[in-house]
Every structure is written in C-alpha cells, then in structure tokens.
Amino acid sequence: MAAEQRLVLEQLFGRDNLYNLPSQSSYRPSRSQPLNLFDNRICKSFLVGTCPHDLFSGTKEDMGRCKRIHLEKYKIQYESEKRNYEKRLEASGGKLSEDDKRIQRMVEEFEYDYMQDLEYHINEVAHKIVVAEDNLRHTPEEQQKIDKITKDLDNMDIRIGLVTQEVDLLTKKGQLVKALIESNKLNELLEQRNKFSKSVREITDKIGQANQQKLEVCSVCGAYLSRLDSDRRLADHFTGKIHLGYVTMRSELSVLRKKRAAITKK
C-alpha cells in the first residue's frame, strides 16, 4: 500500500520534486519551464499507456522505478493534444495543418516507443515460459508410458460411451431384457475403468517430480500452476497483480501492433 501511495505522489509531483523537497521555510515555487513531450527524459510508455515498471510494483517481479519521468501533467497534456487532434482530423475530413502533422508524428512515435517497450518485456516472459516448460518435460521413456496409459484410458471411455448409447437405444425400443444385459456390461466396464484409473494414478505419481505435482506453466505470465490447486487458489493467481500485469501488456501490445500495421500499409 505504501509503495502504491508513493507511486501516486511521484506521478502527481514528479520524482525529483518529491524526494528533493526543500524545507518548508525555504520553499519557493519552481519557475522552470515544463519539458517538451519529445524530451527523452519523459517516459513515453507512461504517456501512452501503462509503464511496465508500474505494473509489478510491490511484487516479486518488481522492476524498480522507471529511470524516466512519470508526471501526471505530461500524461494529461499528451492525452489532451491527441484527443483534440483526432477531433480536428475527423472534422476536416483528413486534412492536416502543420501543427496537426506534428501531433500525428508525436502520437505515432510515442506509440511505437511504447510498443517496443512492451515487446521487450513480452519476449522476456516468452523465454521464461519456454525454460519453465522444458523443466517440466518427461524423459522419452516416461512420455511413452504416459502416452500408452492415456490411450488405453481413452479407448475404455469410448467403449463405455458406446455401451451407454446402446442401453439408451434398447430402452427406448422397449427391448428391456437386452437393455438389462447391456446395462450389466456397462457396470462391469465402469468398474474396470475405476480400477484402471487407480493404477494410472499410481503410475503417473511415480513418473517425475513435475508429474507428481501436476504442474503446468501459465501461458500468460510463466508462473507454475498446479492442476491440483483449489478453484480459489487458481482464481487468486488469475486475478493476481503479476498475471493481470502481463494480461494488460499483451492486450495493449496487440492493439498497438494492429495500429502499426495499418500505418505501414498507407
């Protein structure tokens, strides 16, 4: 909570102003001119969307403070200029003044910078996912054994499904004696499946630590998930700050890529 409050204050007053405030008796309002939005010291990711450094603050993936300036007044200025430019563009039927061309260039450049920033972090987590999945892979012998018992289980399920359909069909036709015979077969198959399922669990539980834990890798954030976790624990993961942070980055990156593709086609 304290970290989030500090982040809000930094955005309102500026990091330098917040951490280098003079004493109350000697404080004088700054007369320095605001920076141009094109200034490299201003974080373009913060202006356009959400800087990745802000998404994971206070988590184990905390990146620390962004080295560039996050100041709310610059974000408001950028959004205002962009919004007014879009209104004028629509009203003029696509005709651009020199000032509008400057704003168009600004928006395209800043969005491209933001897209590159997002791509860097998404590529990082993609590598993390590959490594995590490699760590969960079975040996060829283990995988062969798992494939065989999985196929046997699938075949048994198919047989159960066919006999179930046969029982239903015979019952509808009024052939109750035959339906009863098939029903007995079905019960035998179900009992066999239960026994086979227990043996399958015993086999799979002996195959590798990863299989013991029933782990899989989250395709969004790269975290390990257990298929044995309760719905509550899984929900906690999918609504957690790290997972939602990567959801945000992937969503915004997808939008920016589509916009960039449309620009390059012109």
Which pLDDT tens digit goes with each residue over 95-150? 788 888 999 999 999 999 999 999 999 999 999 999 988 877 766 777 787 778 87
SS3 string, 219-265, reads: CCCCCEEECCCCHHHHHHHHCCHHHHHHHHHHHHHHHHHHHHHHHHH
- The span from the CA of 227 to the CA of 214, in Å, is 6
Report for 11-15, 85-89, 94-98: range of highest mean pLDDT: 85-89
Average pLDDT value for residue range 46-68: 94
- The span from the CA of 128 to the CA of 221, in Å, is 9
- pLDDT bin (cut points 50, 70, 90) of residue 49 is very high
Average pLDDT value for residue range 62-83: 95
Residue linked to tokens 């198959």: 189
Average pLDDT value for residue range 56-81: 94
- The span from the CA of 219 to the CA of 248, in Å, is 14
Q: How far is CA 199 from CA 22, 157, 191, in A?
A: 73, 16, 13
pLDDT confidence of residue 258 = 93
**Residue of 229, 215, 197 lying closest to 138 (CA atoms):** 215
| Least confident interval from 112-116, 138-142, 172-176, 246-250 | 138-142
Q: Is the pLDDT of residue 26 over 90?
A: no
**Residue of 33, 51, 47 lying closest to 109 (CA atoms):** 47
Which pLDDT tens digit goes with each residue over 183-205? 998 899 888 888 888 777 777 66
- The span from the CA of 175 to the CA of 24, in Å, is 96
- The span from the CA of 194 to the CA of 23, in Å, is 76
* The two three-digit tokens of residue 120, written as one number: 């860097």
Reported pTM: 0.61
- pLDDT bin (cut points 50, 70, 90) of residue 92 is confident
Q: Is the pLDDT of residue 163 over 70?
A: yes
Angle between helices 2-13 and 72-91 (to 10 degrees): 60
Please provide residue 21's backbone torsions phi and psi, each rounded to the nearest 5 degrees: -70, 130
Between residues 240 and 13, the one the model is more confident about:
240
In sequence order, what DSSP letters do the residues of 100-137 get, joined into one string? HHHHHHHHHHHHHHHHHHHHHHHHHHHHHHHHHHHHHP
Q: Is the pLDDT of residue 64 over 70?
A: yes
- The span from the CA of 151 to the CA of 252, in Å, is 41
Between residues 26 and 78, the one the model is more confident about:
78
